[in-house]
A and B are shown apart, each in its own frame.
Chain A
Amino acid sequence: MARRPGRRTTRRQQGLFWLVLAAAVAFGFVTTQAFTASNAVPATNIGQFSQAITPAQLEPAECITGGVTATSIVSGTGTVNATAANQLVLGSSAVDSLTDTFGTVCMVGGAGSDSFQGKNAGGDLCVVSTATTAGNIKKCTVVATRP
């Protein structure tokens, strides 16, 4: 059988090729490891919070304690009339006249010599100012005085 001299040379060259390739890959890996260090990153916080605001949340705590939980708000300057039960009725810094005909509202007058007319004392609650005179508070339980 005739010897094929070229075949042995080709195998040796292939072996050398794979050896060089493996060495190159190893070199690249080691180099990358050396240059890509891990940074120490501390734990951090960031965020957004969203929540609906209910009329009861805006209500003075004295009215909540007094038993009126507002489900709507009406406000104005001058004459301000409640339009529903369980309402937060808000006046202004001027002289206001707040009136309720439903029986369970929280009226907040603000500054000024305001007048309050409720449907029945005990059901209607009032936050009055120091400028409000007793004669101007009718059928309304005063739960706080401010300012």
Chain B
Amino acid sequence: MRKRFFPIALVVLAVLAGAMLGRAATAANTVPTGRLGQGSQATAAYTISGVSYSLDVNNPRNVAQVAFTVSPSSARVVTARLNNAGSWYTCTNTAGSVTCATTSPAIAATSANNLTVVASQ
């Protein structure tokens, strides 16, 4: 019984000694409080309605402006184009009433065939 106990005790002592040595050699780091987590929420689309166009009063061959209503009205970035291969125009959203000047570059009324609006928060 004693013969069997001795090697076990020796191993336990060795482990304890190693742990103490490791503890002494490993200084404590200062770790700031961190945050980590996961969450998800589905994104919803905007509703565009009441679309109207204005021709350039001086040169009616060109479209001067497109206006529409966006809902919800919280959209911060709204861009639009009047042709699938055309330029994007920056729009101004005032409480849901959006206007997009389409004068630079000018777009001909005959080229304005499809309205695309991209909106995001």
Contacts and interface: CB of A to CB of B under 8 A. Distances in A.
A18 interface: no
Nearest to B108: A75
Given A75-B61, A147-B58, A90 B43 contact: no
A76 B121 CA distance: 41
Interface in B90-105: none
B57 A36 contact: no
Interface string A36-47: 111111111111
B85 to A, nearest CB: 14
A34 B116 CA distance: 46
Most-contacted residue by chain B among A38, A42, A74, A75 (CB, 10 A): A75
B114 A51 contact: yes
B61 A91 contact: yes
- Specify the main secondary structure of chain B where it touches its partner: loop
A110 B53 contact: no
A37 to B, nearest CB: 4
Size category, A interface? 35 or more
Contacts of B36: 35-37
Contacts of A30: none
Nearest to B110: A73
A38 B38 CA distance: 5
Contacts of B113: 52-53
B55 A49 contact: no
B109 A111 contact: no
Contacts of A41: 39-41
25 contacts: A37-B35, A37-B37, A39-B37, A41-B40, A43-B43, A44-B121, A45-B43, A46-B46, A49-B115, A50-B115, A51-B51, A53-B53, A53-B82, A57-B51, A57-B52, A58-B55, A58-B109, A76-B61, A92-B59, A109-B60, A110-B56, A110-B57, A110-B58, A111-B58, A146-B57
